[in-house]
Chain A
Amino acid sequence: GQNIDQPTEMTATEGAIVQINCTYQTSGFNGLFWYQQHAGEAPTFLSYNVLDGLEEKGRFSSFLSRSKGYSYLLLKELQMKDSASYLCAVRDSNYQLIWGAGTKLIIKP
Chain B
Amino acid sequence: ETGVTQTPRHLVMGMTNKKSLKCEQHLGHNAMYWYKQSAKKPLELMFVYNFKEQTENNSVPSRFSPECPNSSHLFLHLHTLQPEDSALYLCASSQGVPGRGPPTDTQYFGPGTRLTVL
Q: Is B90 an interface residue (CB 8 A)?
A: yes
Q: In the complex, are the beta carbons of B40 and A33 less than 8 A apart?
A: no
Q: Is A12 an interface residue (CB 8 A)?
A: no
Q: How large is the interface on B (under 10, 10 to 19, 20 to 34, 35 or more residues)?
A: 10 to 19
Q: In the complex, are the beta carbons of A45 and B45 less than 8 A apart?
A: no
Number of interface residues of A (CB under 8 A): 26
In the complex, chain B residues 35-79 whose Cβ is within 8 Å of any chain A Cβ? 40-43, 45
Separation of A50 and B43 alpha carbons in the complex (Å): 21
A89 CB contacts on chain B under 8 angstroms? 43
B41 CB contacts on chain A under 8 angstroms? 101
Chain B residue with Cβ nearest A94: B99
- Shortest beta-carbon distance from B24 to chain A in Å: 13
Q: In the complex, are the beta carbons of B109 and A97 less than 8 A apart?
A: no
- Residues A97 and B108 in contact in the complex (CB < 8 Å), given A31-B103, A43-B90, A50-B103: no
In the complex, chain A residues 44-65 whose Cβ is within 8 Å of any chain B Cβ? 44-45, 48, 50
